[in-house]
Structure 1
Amino acid sequence: MNVKLQSLEHSWSKAAIFIGTASLFFALIPISLAPSLVKLCEQEIGANAVAFHRNWIGTIIFALLSAIETFQKPNSDDRSLEKKPFTKWEWGLLLVMGTTGATYFLLWVWSVTKTSIANVALLSNLNPLFVGLLGYFLLGRRFDQKFFMGMAIALVGAIAFEFNKVQLGSDQIFGDGLALLTAIFIATYLMLVERLRNRFTTANIMLCRCGITTLFILPILPLTEDRLLPYSGMGWFFIIFQALFCQVLGQGLLAYSLSKLSSGVVAVTLLLEPVLASIFAWFIFSEQVSLFGWMTFAVVLFGIYLAQTSQSAESEI
């Protein structure tokens, strides 16, 4: 009987990891396309205005999804959720998660204005290191040797991909510091979402994240943007499309994957994002990807494979 139970648990664990991995790789497509879509939107409005529209549209969609969940029976996404009343601590943690998500986004936008995009891409993608460090020191989490090997290989590949474009200079130190701080907040956000996924649905979590980000951006708009609304139908199309595709689908699937996979593995897998973003820019804007870039892409993929197949892959929350 115990052997059968262990076999069933093992099969369930494998299935959960597969579902989480599939969700995460699907999420990478809209997440990686986001820079190209934002670039198209910026032909009519600025980056902060794009972010504002992306988040208020996301807030409405996730509010509707949350309302539907309230009046319907729990679906497969919610069966693992405990049905005890939410505590003040859990509501507080949800608020901290939303604030952390908004903060890392604003830090990222600020860092782009103070240093090169390559520096931002390189430093903000160091978040797997901080997931490991914060998990170890704050949560007592242990990752196995295979995971660390995969993380190291993927990080080396991601750093190599961006390093030839990095610009060094004393005038960029402040921006580089902001980018590094972004990595810490991204790591914290991923860990908080992982912890909340056993109590709140994806729609609840994303509603909080999008709503708080919208409120954070709103007072900044008059200071940073001359124009809030696009002036053409095509401009509105790109705004709505990137909100639905990148924010609702991409970020929603990312949050869902954290119910199946550990935040460490998710952080390592997200190292593919800048590489895929460059490949999509190659297709859309004819921005060339060098042979060295394709080689580092293969290195990152190999590192992600090791991390994904390690014993540390499954979420412990």
Structure 2
Amino acid sequence: MHQRALPSQITRAGRYAFPALILSNIFLALGPWMVRLADVGPVAAGFWRLALAIPFLLLLMRAGGKSQVRPDRAILILIVISGLFFAGDLAAWHYGIVRTKLANATLFGNCSSFLFAIYGFIVMRALPRPMQAAAFALAAVGTALMLGGSYELSARNFAGDLFALLAGFFYALYLIVIDRARKTLAPMPVLALATTAATLPLLLFALLLGETVMPTDWTPLVLLALGSQVAGQGLLVYAMGYLNPVVVGITLLMQPAVTALIGWLAYDEGFSATDLVGALLICVALVLIRLPGRAAEPA
């Protein structure tokens, strides 16, 4: 377990937490694009995302010093549990993507953002302040505007919608457990151990579903591993050690905006004026959530 940092060290490290959180969401939003480009099954893509990332995460963990790689037994169990939740999230999310519209999957999958923010209010044992409530509402409206034009509720999409909703629930549980682990452990050991714990279950899921596991083109999977897992999850787990869950939960809602922008640039998917308004509302929410009590943030 890493040694306790001095308050001045925590302040300096926490100064970069919110920019790191923003950058992590950009990397994570690139994930669905790489899954679409991969020539393996969607759950198998999740397996390779983790398996290919493990060597890099272990190197980063070792670079942090030997004192950071020995969590106690209780924390180790907690991180393994988080890995199982993460495996469930990736399996359900990737399985649901191909069985419903992308907008539906994004909408239901992002229920984790609201659940994690609500968890933050419960942990703080306080109702949201006016500025927090305004940010929460703006982010919700912005997300609804961006997805409302392409969202479609129908019996054909029902199974995919349920899997996307299940993925959001699993991801919220993963974030809650990671938040607990980050109170006593550095980010790279947490992420490396959680990633390792999630890898084998994802492989088993892919095999049970009869998916193609071995790729012929490794490029999308390597980019998925380095972008979404090493950079995206790495920056997210780092930021969670300094920011409260309310800030993290609301900031996660910027992913649909980035995903829509990628769809517009890479696939010429429509990006309407309504989408632009929704994206701007999410940006305003990110500003508002950082205004109150900023001096006290890092936690």
TM-score per shorter chain, which class? 0.7 to 0.9
Structural mapping, 1:1-317, within 5 Å? 18-41=15-38, 44-71=39-66, 86-137=71-122, 139-142=123-126, 143-231=128-216, 235-311=217-293, 314=297, 316=299
Distance 1:128 1:230, change over 3 A: closer
Compared CA separation, residues 92 and 230, structure 1 to 2 (3 A)? closer
Deviates more, 1:159-168 or 1:239-248: 239-248
Structure 1 contact 153–302 (Cα < 8 Å) conserved: yes
Instruction: Say if 1:151 and 1:304, in contact at 8 Å, map to a contact too.
Output: no
Give the partner amino acid of 1:156. V
1:172 CA displacement:
3.7
Q: Structure 1: 5+ residue runs without aligned partners?
A: 1-8
Q: What is the match of residue 4 of structure 2?
A: none
On the 8 A contact 2:71/2:185 being kept in 1, the answer is no
**Structure of greater Rg:** 1
> Gaps spanning 5+ residues in structure 2: where?
1-6
Query: Structure 1: which amino acid aligns with 2:125?
Result: R
TM-score, length basis structure 2: 0.86
Pair 1:160–1:242, CA change in 2 (3 A): same
Structure 1 residue 37 displacement after superposition: 2.1
Give the 3 Å change call, closer, same or farther, for CA 16–65 of structure 1 in structure 2.
closer
Aligned alpha-carbon RMSD (Å): 2.8
Q: Which amino acid aligns with 1:246?
A: S
Aligned residues: 292
In structure 2, distance between residues paired with 1:259 and 1:200: 9
Find the aligned partners of 1:88 and 1:303 in 2 and give their Cα distance: 39
Conserved? CA contact 1:194–1:315, under 8 Å: no
Q: What amino acid sits opposite 2:143 in the alignment?
A: A
TM-score norm. by structure 1 comes to 0.82
Is contact 1:107–1:178 with CA below 8 Å preserved after alignment?
Answer: yes
Aligned to 1:115, what secondary structure does the other structure show? coil
Percent of paired sites with the same residue: 24
Distance 1:163 1:88, change over 3 A: same
